Protein backbone atom coordinates (compact mmCIF):
# COMPACT_ATOMS: atom_id res chain seq x y z
CA UNK A 1 0.00 0.00 0.00
CA UNK A 2 2.79 2.42 0.93
CA UNK A 3 4.62 1.44 -2.23
CA UNK A 4 1.51 2.37 -4.26
CA UNK A 5 1.26 5.74 -2.54
CA UNK A 6 4.92 6.46 -3.09
CA UNK A 7 4.59 5.54 -6.75
CA UNK A 8 1.56 7.84 -7.11
CA UNK A 9 3.51 10.69 -5.53
CA UNK A 10 6.50 10.05 -7.75
CA UNK A 11 4.28 10.40 -10.78
CA UNK A 12 2.10 13.25 -9.52
CA UNK A 13 4.88 15.57 -8.37
CA UNK A 14 6.64 15.74 -11.76
CA UNK A 15 3.30 16.31 -13.46
CA UNK A 16 2.47 19.19 -11.13
CA UNK A 17 5.90 20.71 -11.63
CA UNK A 18 5.53 20.31 -15.38
CA UNK A 19 2.11 21.97 -15.34
CA UNK A 20 3.47 24.93 -13.36
CA UNK A 21 6.36 25.31 -15.75
CA UNK A 22 4.12 25.17 -18.80
CA UNK A 23 1.81 27.77 -17.32
CA UNK A 24 4.67 30.03 -16.31
CA UNK A 25 5.04 33.76 -16.61
CA UNK A 26 4.74 35.77 -19.79
CA UNK A 27 7.26 38.58 -20.23
CA UNK A 28 5.42 40.26 -23.12
CA UNK A 29 4.29 43.88 -22.45
CA UNK A 30 0.61 44.52 -21.80
CA UNK A 31 -1.33 45.76 -24.81
CA UNK A 32 -3.22 49.04 -24.59
CA UNK A 33 -4.97 50.31 -27.70
CA UNK A 34 -3.48 53.69 -28.71
CA UNK A 35 -5.82 56.66 -28.59
CA UNK A 36 -7.25 57.69 -31.96
CA UNK A 37 -5.61 60.95 -33.04
CA UNK A 38 -8.77 62.25 -34.71
CA UNK A 39 -11.77 64.19 -33.39
CA UNK A 40 -14.73 62.05 -32.34
CA UNK A 41 -17.39 64.00 -34.28
CA UNK A 42 -17.14 64.39 -38.04
CA UNK A 43 -16.15 67.82 -39.37
CA UNK A 44 -18.81 70.49 -39.76
CA UNK A 45 -19.07 73.61 -41.86
CA UNK A 46 -20.50 74.91 -45.14
CA UNK A 47 -19.26 71.86 -47.08
CA UNK A 48 -20.96 69.32 -44.81
CA UNK A 49 -24.57 68.31 -44.44
CA UNK A 50 -26.18 68.46 -41.01
CA UNK A 51 -25.74 65.00 -39.49
CA UNK A 52 -27.63 65.72 -36.26
CA UNK A 53 -30.94 64.56 -37.71
CA UNK A 54 -29.59 61.44 -39.41
CA UNK A 55 -29.52 57.94 -37.96
CA UNK A 56 -26.26 56.03 -38.24
CA UNK A 57 -26.34 53.05 -40.57
CA UNK A 58 -25.01 49.83 -39.08
CA UNK A 59 -22.48 49.43 -41.85
CA UNK A 60 -20.77 46.53 -40.05
CA UNK A 61 -23.86 44.36 -40.63
CA UNK A 62 -24.85 45.84 -44.00
CA UNK A 63 -24.45 43.40 -46.89
CA UNK A 64 -23.34 44.77 -50.24
CA UNK A 65 -26.36 43.15 -51.87
CA UNK A 66 -28.55 45.46 -49.76
CA UNK A 67 -26.59 48.55 -50.77
CA UNK A 68 -26.33 47.92 -54.50
CA UNK A 69 -29.88 47.07 -55.48
CA UNK A 70 -29.67 46.84 -59.28
CA UNK A 71 -30.00 43.10 -60.09
CA UNK A 72 -27.60 43.38 -63.04
CA UNK A 73 -24.97 45.04 -60.88
CA UNK A 74 -25.37 42.37 -58.22
CA UNK A 75 -24.60 39.69 -60.77
CA UNK A 76 -21.51 41.53 -61.96
CA UNK A 77 -20.25 41.91 -58.37
CA UNK A 78 -20.84 38.20 -57.74
CA UNK A 79 -18.84 37.39 -60.87
CA UNK A 80 -15.97 39.50 -59.57
CA UNK A 81 -16.04 37.86 -56.13
CA UNK A 82 -15.87 34.43 -57.73
CA UNK A 83 -13.35 35.08 -60.50
CA UNK A 84 -11.12 38.06 -59.67
CA UNK A 85 -7.52 36.87 -59.49
CA UNK A 86 -6.30 39.54 -57.07
CA UNK A 87 -8.95 38.50 -54.54
CA UNK A 88 -8.01 34.87 -55.10
CA UNK A 89 -4.37 35.67 -54.32
CA UNK A 90 -5.46 37.46 -51.14
CA UNK A 91 -7.40 34.35 -50.11
CA UNK A 92 -4.37 32.15 -50.71
CA UNK A 93 -2.29 34.46 -48.52
CA UNK A 94 -4.81 33.90 -45.74
CA UNK A 95 -4.57 30.12 -46.15
CA UNK A 96 -0.79 30.29 -46.01
CA UNK A 97 -0.84 32.45 -42.87
CA UNK A 98 -3.24 30.00 -41.24
CA UNK A 99 -0.92 27.08 -42.03
CA UNK A 100 2.09 29.00 -40.71
CA UNK A 101 0.23 29.63 -37.47
CA UNK A 102 -0.47 25.90 -37.19
CA UNK A 103 3.24 25.16 -37.53
CA UNK A 104 4.21 27.74 -34.91
CA UNK A 105 1.51 26.65 -32.46
CA UNK A 106 2.64 23.03 -32.77
CA UNK A 107 5.95 24.05 -31.18
CA UNK A 108 4.13 24.06 -27.84
CA UNK A 109 3.52 20.31 -28.07
CA UNK A 110 6.02 17.47 -27.68
CA UNK A 111 7.07 15.51 -30.75
CA UNK A 112 7.01 11.72 -30.38
CA UNK A 113 8.42 9.23 -32.82
CA UNK A 114 9.00 5.51 -33.11
CA UNK A 115 11.90 3.63 -34.58
CA UNK A 116 13.35 0.20 -35.04
CA UNK A 117 16.93 -0.88 -35.78
CA UNK A 118 18.83 -4.04 -36.62
CA UNK A 119 22.60 -4.55 -36.70
CA UNK A 120 24.46 -7.74 -37.76
CA UNK A 121 28.25 -7.60 -37.74
CA UNK A 122 30.96 -10.17 -38.22
CA UNK A 123 34.01 -9.76 -35.94
CA UNK A 124 37.29 -11.48 -37.04
CA UNK A 125 39.48 -13.46 -34.60
CA UNK A 126 42.17 -10.76 -34.56
CA UNK A 127 39.67 -8.21 -33.22
CA UNK A 128 37.79 -10.56 -30.94
CA UNK A 129 38.42 -10.45 -27.19
CA UNK A 130 38.16 -14.25 -27.08
CA UNK A 131 40.50 -14.82 -30.02
CA UNK A 132 37.71 -16.50 -31.96
CA UNK A 133 35.60 -15.01 -34.71
CA UNK A 134 31.96 -14.39 -33.91
CA UNK A 135 28.85 -12.70 -35.30
CA UNK A 136 27.38 -9.75 -33.38
CA UNK A 137 23.63 -9.12 -33.50
CA UNK A 138 21.67 -6.18 -32.08
CA UNK A 139 17.97 -5.46 -32.46
CA UNK A 140 16.04 -2.57 -30.97
CA UNK A 141 12.66 -0.83 -30.98
CA UNK A 142 11.91 2.41 -29.17
CA UNK A 143 9.50 5.33 -28.71
CA UNK A 144 11.39 8.60 -28.41
CA UNK A 145 10.66 12.16 -27.37
CA UNK A 146 12.41 14.77 -29.48
CA UNK A 147 13.88 17.83 -27.85
CA UNK A 148 10.85 19.54 -26.26
CA UNK A 149 11.21 23.02 -24.82
CA UNK A 150 9.15 23.72 -21.70
CA UNK A 151 7.86 27.20 -22.42
CA UNK A 152 8.26 28.53 -18.90
CA UNK A 153 8.82 32.18 -19.92
CA UNK A 154 6.42 32.30 -22.86
CA UNK A 155 8.86 32.44 -25.78
CA UNK A 156 7.03 29.85 -27.88
CA UNK A 157 3.59 31.06 -26.78
CA UNK A 158 4.42 34.61 -27.82
CA UNK A 159 5.68 33.39 -31.18
CA UNK A 160 2.44 31.42 -31.59
CA UNK A 161 0.42 34.51 -30.62
CA UNK A 162 2.38 36.55 -33.13
CA UNK A 163 1.66 34.06 -35.91
CA UNK A 164 -2.05 34.03 -34.95
CA UNK A 165 -2.25 37.82 -35.04
CA UNK A 166 -0.38 37.92 -38.36
CA UNK A 167 -2.91 35.42 -39.70
CA UNK A 168 -5.74 37.62 -38.44
CA UNK A 169 -4.10 40.66 -40.05
CA UNK A 170 -3.88 38.77 -43.33
CA UNK A 171 -7.58 37.94 -43.09
CA UNK A 172 -8.35 41.64 -42.60
CA UNK A 173 -6.16 42.41 -45.62
CA UNK A 174 -8.30 40.00 -47.63
CA UNK A 175 -11.43 41.79 -46.39
CA UNK A 176 -9.91 45.12 -47.45
CA UNK A 177 -9.15 43.68 -50.87
CA UNK A 178 -12.74 42.48 -51.17
CA UNK A 179 -14.13 45.90 -50.21
CA UNK A 180 -11.89 47.54 -52.80
CA UNK A 181 -12.94 44.97 -55.39
CA UNK A 182 -16.65 45.54 -54.78
CA UNK A 183 -16.26 49.32 -54.86
CA UNK A 184 -14.00 49.16 -57.92
CA UNK A 185 -16.44 46.90 -59.78
CA UNK A 186 -19.38 49.20 -59.03
CA UNK A 187 -17.40 52.29 -60.05
CA UNK A 188 -16.27 50.62 -63.29
CA UNK A 189 -19.89 49.67 -64.04
CA UNK A 190 -21.09 53.24 -63.33
CA UNK A 191 -18.23 54.80 -65.30
CA UNK A 192 -19.16 52.67 -68.30
CA UNK A 193 -22.76 53.88 -67.94
CA UNK A 194 -21.68 57.54 -67.72
CA UNK A 195 -19.35 57.29 -70.72
CA UNK A 196 -22.04 55.56 -72.76
CA UNK A 197 -24.41 58.42 -71.91
CA UNK A 198 -21.77 60.97 -72.87
CA UNK A 199 -21.21 59.08 -76.13
CA UNK A 200 -24.94 59.21 -76.86
CA UNK A 201 -24.85 62.95 -76.17
CA UNK A 202 -21.90 63.38 -78.55
CA UNK A 203 -23.69 61.40 -81.28
CA UNK A 204 -26.85 63.49 -80.82
CA UNK A 205 -24.77 66.66 -80.93
CA UNK A 206 -23.02 65.44 -84.08
CA UNK A 207 -26.35 64.82 -85.79
CA UNK A 208 -27.58 68.29 -84.75
CA UNK A 209 -24.39 69.97 -85.92
CA UNK A 210 -24.48 68.10 -89.21
CA UNK A 211 -28.04 69.33 -89.78
CA UNK A 212 -26.98 72.89 -88.93
CA UNK A 213 -24.05 72.60 -91.31
CA UNK A 214 -26.33 71.40 -94.13
CA UNK A 215 -28.67 74.31 -93.48
CA UNK A 216 -25.84 76.87 -93.53
CA UNK A 217 -24.49 75.34 -96.76
CA UNK A 218 -27.92 75.61 -98.35
CA UNK A 219 -28.08 79.27 -97.36
CA UNK A 220 -24.57 79.84 -98.67
CA UNK A 221 -25.55 78.33 -102.02
CA UNK A 222 -28.42 80.83 -102.17
CA UNK A 223 -26.12 83.71 -101.28
CA UNK A 224 -27.84 84.42 -97.96
CA UNK A 225 -24.82 83.97 -95.63
CA UNK A 226 -21.07 84.49 -95.91
CA UNK A 227 -18.69 81.60 -96.45
CA UNK A 228 -17.25 82.20 -92.97
CA UNK A 229 -20.46 80.85 -91.42
CA UNK A 230 -20.02 77.56 -93.28
CA UNK A 231 -16.50 77.10 -91.94
CA UNK A 232 -17.66 77.92 -88.41
CA UNK A 233 -20.39 75.29 -88.70
CA UNK A 234 -17.82 72.82 -90.03
CA UNK A 235 -15.67 73.28 -86.92
CA UNK A 236 -18.53 72.16 -84.70
CA UNK A 237 -19.15 69.11 -86.86
CA UNK A 238 -15.48 68.15 -86.63
CA UNK A 239 -15.38 68.70 -82.86
CA UNK A 240 -18.38 66.40 -82.44
CA UNK A 241 -16.78 63.76 -84.68
CA UNK A 242 -13.60 63.85 -82.57
CA UNK A 243 -15.66 63.44 -79.41
CA UNK A 244 -17.60 60.51 -80.86
CA UNK A 245 -14.40 58.72 -81.86
CA UNK A 246 -12.72 59.43 -78.52
CA UNK A 247 -15.71 58.36 -76.45
CA UNK A 248 -16.14 55.20 -78.52
CA UNK A 249 -12.58 54.31 -77.55
CA UNK A 250 -13.21 55.21 -73.89
CA UNK A 251 -16.35 53.05 -73.71
CA UNK A 252 -14.44 50.07 -75.13
CA UNK A 253 -11.67 50.59 -72.55
CA UNK A 254 -14.27 50.87 -69.78
CA UNK A 255 -15.68 47.52 -70.81
CA UNK A 256 -12.18 45.97 -70.79
CA UNK A 257 -11.55 47.34 -67.28
CA UNK A 258 -14.85 45.90 -66.03
CA UNK A 259 -14.06 42.50 -67.58
CA UNK A 260 -10.69 42.45 -65.80
CA UNK A 261 -12.31 43.17 -62.44
CA UNK A 262 -15.02 40.57 -63.03
CA UNK A 263 -12.44 37.98 -64.08
CA UNK A 264 -14.59 36.96 -67.05
CA UNK A 265 -16.29 38.86 -69.90
CA UNK A 266 -19.45 40.56 -68.63
CA UNK A 267 -22.50 39.83 -70.85
CA UNK A 268 -24.07 42.80 -72.60
CA UNK A 269 -27.42 42.28 -70.90
CA UNK A 270 -25.77 43.06 -67.53
CA UNK A 271 -24.45 46.43 -68.70
CA UNK A 272 -26.32 49.75 -68.35
CA UNK A 273 -27.13 51.72 -71.50
CA UNK A 274 -26.50 55.05 -69.74
CA UNK A 275 -26.14 56.51 -66.27
CA UNK A 276 -29.82 57.18 -65.68
CA UNK A 277 -30.44 53.51 -66.53
CA UNK A 278 -28.33 52.41 -63.53
CA UNK A 279 -30.26 51.44 -60.42
CA UNK A 280 -30.22 53.52 -57.26
CA UNK A 281 -27.75 52.87 -54.45
CA UNK A 282 -28.94 52.75 -50.87
CA UNK A 283 -28.15 55.87 -48.88
CA UNK A 284 -26.04 55.23 -45.76
CA UNK A 285 -24.89 57.53 -42.97
CA UNK A 286 -21.88 57.25 -40.63
CA UNK A 287 -23.79 58.93 -37.79
CA UNK A 288 -22.10 61.41 -35.48
CA UNK A 289 -19.13 59.46 -34.08
CA UNK A 290 -15.90 58.55 -35.83
CA UNK A 291 -15.54 55.40 -33.68
CA UNK A 292 -17.13 53.46 -36.54
CA UNK A 293 -13.72 53.64 -38.22
CA UNK A 294 -12.29 51.16 -35.72
CA UNK A 295 -14.25 48.43 -37.52
CA UNK A 296 -12.65 49.09 -40.90
CA UNK A 297 -10.67 46.06 -42.16
CA UNK A 298 -7.49 48.04 -42.79
CA UNK A 299 -7.56 49.47 -39.26
CA UNK A 300 -8.24 46.05 -37.75
CA UNK A 301 -5.31 44.78 -39.83
CA UNK A 302 -3.04 47.51 -38.46
CA UNK A 303 -4.17 46.77 -34.89
CA UNK A 304 -3.49 43.04 -35.29
CA UNK A 305 -0.02 43.87 -36.58
CA UNK A 306 0.49 46.08 -33.53
CA UNK A 307 -0.57 43.26 -31.19
CA UNK A 308 1.79 40.92 -33.05
CA UNK A 309 4.62 43.38 -32.41
CA UNK A 310 3.83 43.24 -28.67
CA UNK A 311 3.96 39.44 -28.74
CA UNK A 312 7.28 39.57 -30.58
CA UNK A 313 8.76 41.67 -27.77
CA UNK A 314 7.76 38.93 -25.32
CA UNK A 315 9.48 36.29 -27.43
CA UNK A 316 12.65 38.40 -27.60
CA UNK A 317 12.65 39.07 -23.84
CA UNK A 318 12.23 35.37 -23.09
CA UNK A 319 15.66 34.79 -24.65
CA UNK A 320 17.15 36.44 -21.55
CA UNK A 321 15.90 33.60 -19.36
CA UNK A 322 16.90 29.92 -19.11
CA UNK A 323 15.55 27.36 -21.55
CA UNK A 324 14.55 23.92 -20.37
CA UNK A 325 14.33 21.09 -22.86
CA UNK A 326 13.48 17.42 -22.47
CA UNK A 327 14.75 14.50 -24.55
CA UNK A 328 14.02 10.83 -23.89
CA UNK A 329 13.37 7.41 -25.32
CA UNK A 330 11.72 4.19 -24.16
CA UNK A 331 12.16 0.84 -25.93
CA UNK A 332 13.61 -2.66 -25.93
CA UNK A 333 16.87 -4.21 -27.08
CA UNK A 334 18.14 -7.75 -27.68
CA UNK A 335 20.79 -9.69 -29.54
CA UNK A 336 18.07 -11.83 -31.07
CA UNK A 337 15.04 -10.65 -32.94
CA UNK A 338 12.84 -13.23 -31.21
CA UNK A 339 13.87 -11.89 -27.81
CA UNK A 340 13.18 -8.25 -28.57
CA UNK A 341 10.04 -8.07 -26.45
CA UNK A 342 11.00 -10.51 -23.71
CA UNK A 343 10.97 -9.49 -20.08
CA UNK A 344 14.09 -7.76 -18.85
CA UNK A 345 15.00 -6.17 -22.22
CA UNK A 346 13.57 -2.71 -21.42
CA UNK A 347 15.83 0.18 -22.39
CA UNK A 348 15.26 3.89 -21.69
CA UNK A 349 16.95 7.23 -21.27
CA UNK A 350 15.79 10.66 -20.07
CA UNK A 351 17.86 13.81 -20.71
CA UNK A 352 16.58 17.14 -19.33
CA UNK A 353 18.76 20.10 -20.25
CA UNK A 354 18.87 23.68 -18.93
CA UNK A 355 20.58 26.40 -20.97
CA UNK A 356 21.28 29.66 -19.13
CA UNK A 357 22.33 32.72 -21.15
CA UNK A 358 25.29 34.51 -19.56
CA UNK A 359 26.57 36.99 -22.12
CA UNK A 360 25.04 37.43 -25.56
CA UNK A 361 24.81 41.10 -26.69
CA UNK A 362 22.75 40.05 -29.69
CA UNK A 363 19.81 39.38 -27.36
CA UNK A 364 19.60 42.99 -26.19
CA UNK A 365 19.89 44.18 -29.78
CA UNK A 366 17.03 41.88 -30.78
CA UNK A 367 14.86 43.31 -27.98
CA UNK A 368 15.60 46.84 -29.20
CA UNK A 369 14.61 45.84 -32.73
CA UNK A 370 11.28 44.45 -31.53
CA UNK A 371 10.59 47.60 -29.50
CA UNK A 372 11.25 49.78 -32.56
CA UNK A 373 8.99 47.47 -34.56
CA UNK A 374 6.26 48.07 -31.98
CA UNK A 375 6.62 51.85 -32.25
CA UNK A 376 6.51 51.51 -36.02
CA UNK A 377 3.30 49.48 -35.73
CA UNK A 378 1.80 52.13 -33.40
CA UNK A 379 2.61 54.85 -35.91
CA UNK A 380 1.14 52.83 -38.77
CA UNK A 381 -2.01 52.17 -36.73
CA UNK A 382 -2.42 55.87 -35.93
CA UNK A 383 -1.80 56.81 -39.55
CA UNK A 384 -4.39 54.26 -40.72
CA UNK A 385 -7.00 55.90 -38.47
CA UNK A 386 -6.07 59.40 -39.61
CA UNK A 387 -6.22 58.33 -43.26
CA UNK A 388 -9.60 56.68 -42.72
CA UNK A 389 -10.95 59.83 -41.04
CA UNK A 390 -9.75 61.97 -43.94
CA UNK A 391 -11.35 59.61 -46.48
CA UNK A 392 -14.73 59.69 -44.73
CA UNK A 393 -14.51 63.47 -44.23
CA UNK A 394 -13.77 63.98 -47.94
CA UNK A 395 -16.72 61.79 -48.83
CA UNK A 396 -19.02 63.72 -46.49
CA UNK A 397 -17.81 66.98 -48.06
CA UNK A 398 -18.91 65.71 -51.48
CA UNK A 399 -22.17 64.46 -50.00
CA UNK A 400 -22.90 67.88 -48.51
CA UNK A 401 -22.26 69.84 -51.71
CA UNK A 402 -23.03 67.63 -54.70
CA UNK A 403 -26.79 68.26 -54.70
CA UNK A 404 -26.11 72.00 -54.88
CA UNK A 405 -23.79 71.40 -57.82
CA UNK A 406 -26.46 69.35 -59.59
CA UNK A 407 -29.13 72.02 -59.03
CA UNK A 408 -26.81 74.75 -60.31
CA UNK A 409 -25.80 72.66 -63.32
CA UNK A 410 -29.46 72.00 -64.22
CA UNK A 411 -30.12 75.74 -64.07
CA UNK A 412 -27.05 76.32 -66.26
CA UNK A 413 -28.32 73.82 -68.85
CA UNK A 414 -31.74 75.51 -68.97
CA UNK A 415 -30.10 78.90 -69.42
CA UNK A 416 -27.75 77.54 -72.11
CA UNK A 417 -30.64 75.92 -73.98
CA UNK A 418 -32.55 79.20 -73.97
CA UNK A 419 -29.44 81.10 -75.06
CA UNK A 420 -28.91 78.67 -77.91
CA UNK A 421 -32.54 78.93 -78.98
CA UNK A 422 -32.52 82.74 -78.98
CA UNK A 423 -29.15 82.90 -80.75
CA UNK A 424 -30.50 80.59 -83.47
CA UNK A 425 -33.63 82.74 -83.87
CA UNK A 426 -31.57 85.93 -84.13
CA UNK A 427 -29.30 84.30 -86.70
CA UNK A 428 -32.24 83.06 -88.75
CA UNK A 429 -33.65 86.61 -88.81
CA UNK A 430 -30.30 88.08 -89.78
CA UNK A 431 -29.99 90.08 -86.59
CA UNK A 432 -26.79 88.37 -85.44
CA UNK A 433 -23.96 86.39 -87.04
CA UNK A 434 -23.28 82.68 -86.69
CA UNK A 435 -20.57 83.23 -84.09
CA UNK A 436 -23.19 83.81 -81.38
CA UNK A 437 -24.89 80.53 -82.34
CA UNK A 438 -21.55 78.77 -82.23
CA UNK A 439 -20.73 80.11 -78.75
CA UNK A 440 -24.16 79.22 -77.42
CA UNK A 441 -23.98 75.69 -78.79
CA UNK A 442 -20.51 75.11 -77.31
CA UNK A 443 -21.67 76.32 -73.89
CA UNK A 444 -24.74 74.05 -74.01
CA UNK A 445 -22.70 71.00 -75.05
CA UNK A 446 -20.12 71.59 -72.29
CA UNK A 447 -22.87 72.07 -69.70
CA UNK A 448 -24.55 68.80 -70.72
CA UNK A 449 -21.25 66.91 -70.48
CA UNK A 450 -20.51 68.45 -67.09
CA UNK A 451 -23.97 67.42 -65.87
CA UNK A 452 -23.22 63.77 -66.62
CA UNK A 453 -19.91 64.05 -64.73
CA UNK A 454 -21.53 65.58 -61.63
CA UNK A 455 -24.24 62.92 -61.55
CA UNK A 456 -21.55 60.24 -61.76
CA UNK A 457 -19.68 61.98 -58.92
CA UNK A 458 -22.78 61.82 -56.71
CA UNK A 459 -23.42 58.12 -57.29
CA UNK A 460 -19.73 57.17 -57.07
CA UNK A 461 -19.50 59.08 -53.78
CA UNK A 462 -22.21 56.86 -52.33
CA UNK A 463 -20.11 53.85 -53.34
CA UNK A 464 -17.03 55.41 -51.77
CA UNK A 465 -18.90 56.14 -48.52
CA UNK A 466 -19.88 52.49 -48.31
CA UNK A 467 -16.25 51.46 -48.83
CA UNK A 468 -14.58 53.95 -46.47
CA UNK A 469 -16.97 53.01 -43.65
CA UNK A 470 -15.77 49.42 -43.78
CA UNK A 471 -17.69 47.67 -46.52
CA UNK A 472 -20.28 45.62 -44.65
CA UNK A 473 -20.47 42.23 -43.02
CA UNK A 474 -20.61 39.76 -45.93
CA UNK A 475 -16.83 39.63 -46.34
Question: Where along the chain do its domains lie?
Answer: 20-110+151-322+361-468
What's the CA angle centered on 414, arms 408 and 420, to 5 degrees?
Answer: 130
225 phi, psi to nearest 5 deg? -135, 160
- pLDDT of 19 over the 80 cut: no
When mean pLDDT is compared over 47-61, 246-260, 352-366, the highest value belongs to 246-260
Q: Contact, 63 vs 297, CB < 8 A?
A: no
- pLDDT of 219 over the 80 cut: yes
Share of the chain above pLDDT 70, in %: 91
Quick one: pLDDT at residue 61?
A: 66
Least confident segment among 46-55, 90-99, 276-285, 326-335: 46-55
Sort strands 346-355 and 323-334 into parallel, antiparallel or unpaired.
Answer: antiparallel
Q: Contact, 463 vs 281, CB < 8 A?
A: yes
What is the three-class DSSP state of 56? coil
Q: Contact, 145 vs 111, CB < 8 A?
A: yes
First to last CA, the chain: 63
Residue 99 contacts by C-beta under 8 Å, 6 or more apart in sequence?
Answer: none
- pLDDT of 343 over the 80 cut: no
The secondary structure element, H or E, covering residue 6 is helix 2-22
Q: Residue 198 and residue 411: Cα distance in Å, rounded?
A: 19
Taking only the tens place, the pLDDT of each residue in 24-78 is 577 778 888 888 777 778 888 888 877 666 666 666 667 888 889 899 999 999 9
pTM of the model: 0.84
Share of the chain above pLDDT 90, in %: 41
Name the CATH superfamily for 20-110+151-322+361-468. Outer membrane efflux proteins (OEP) (1.20.1600.10)
Amino acid sequence: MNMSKNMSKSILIPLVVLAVMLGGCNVAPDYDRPAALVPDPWPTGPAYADQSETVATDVASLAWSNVFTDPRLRQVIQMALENNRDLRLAGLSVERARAMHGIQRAELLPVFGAGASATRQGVPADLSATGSPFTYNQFGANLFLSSWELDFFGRIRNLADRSLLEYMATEQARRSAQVLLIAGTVNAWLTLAADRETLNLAETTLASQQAAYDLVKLRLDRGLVPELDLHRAQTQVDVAKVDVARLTQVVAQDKNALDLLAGVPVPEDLLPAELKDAGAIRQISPGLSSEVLLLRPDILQAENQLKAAHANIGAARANLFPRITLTGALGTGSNELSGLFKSGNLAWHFSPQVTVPIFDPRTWGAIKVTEVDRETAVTQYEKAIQTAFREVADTLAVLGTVDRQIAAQESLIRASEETYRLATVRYDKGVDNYLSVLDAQQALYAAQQRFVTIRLTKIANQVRLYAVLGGGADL
